[in-house]
Amino acid sequence: MNRHALRRALAAALVAAPAVFAASGADAAPQVLALFSTDRPVALACDGGTCRAEMPTLCLQPGRRVPRPGRGYRLAEGQEVVLVGRGRDGTEMSIPLQNEVTVTAARTHVSIEMSIPRALIDKHGIEEAGVGIRDVVAAVPVADPDDILPQTPDEIAWAAREARQLATAIVDREPDRMPAVRLMTRMANALPAGDADALWATIVADAKRDGVSDAATGFARFNYDLCKFKTANRIVASFRQCLRGLSDDSMEYLNEDLEKALGSGS
């Protein structure tokens, strides 16, 4: 089935979907979110006993409320991310993770923070640790006793299957925007860096070897240069904050398309 046929089929499935879009109140459980595949691992920054990275996301349930920063999430049942890096002997390592990962909303529905215990990384003897996502993953809000309208099993199952497939199709039809976001995500998570320009040049060179389009790298480079200007002129608090803000803007653009495809606006 091609992407257009998939989109039509999934949109039609909304008619038969459970009451996914009926809980927008402030005390309702927030939206299920989609995390997208990474072209290359995203660096983890370790502070004390926890290592963290931020990832871009989209909303899979427009009718439910936007998550507040810090709201707890978990990976949907049967879905995983991978902890990657090099062993002490130089061997490349890739370890699937599910319950070991803590997920929290970072900024509304377009970004989450993923946390992994430093002890787990040390246990496997991983150096230069990063996190990767092979396929689109659904992140489900952790149940909270204060949720007057909690997520139901049917809602979660629908969002983690049909809505997640539709989100994949929406992102795939944009050949340049998501690859550019991936570049900005890698850069933002690798900061601070001793030589940011050298790091950026390496990220772009890797992208070109991976077949990322000139349009995508050009879009990302424009945002990189814009953030350099804004940081130098103290228009933004930090280079990282600027890159993350522009990444959020791009995800909002994709989120609008996804909301239209899902047949409901938030």
pLDDT, tens digit (0-9, with 9 covering 90-100), for 169-211: 999 888 899 999 999 999 999 998 889 999 999 999 999 999 9
Place of tokens 């923070």: 113
Task: Evaluate if residue 262 carries a pLDDT over 90.
Answer: no
Q: What is the pLDDT of residues 109-134, one digit of tens each?
A: 999 999 999 999 999 999 999 999 99
Structure-block tokens of residue 255:
């989120």
Place of tokens 């909304």: 14
CA 174 to centroid of chain Cα atoms: 16
Listed in order, strand segments (DSSP E) in the chain are 33-35, 42-43, 45-47, 50-59, 72-75, 81-86, 92-97, 102-105, 111-117, 127-132, 137-141
24 — pLDDT class (breaks 50, 70, 90): low
The secondary element (H helix, E strand) that includes residue 14 is none
Query: Nearest CA to 181 among 57, 85, 83, 79?
Result: 57
C-alpha dihedral, 146 to 147 to 152 to 153, nearest 10°: -50
Sign of CA pseudo-dihedral 199, 200, 205, 206: positive
Its pTM surpasses 0.95 = no
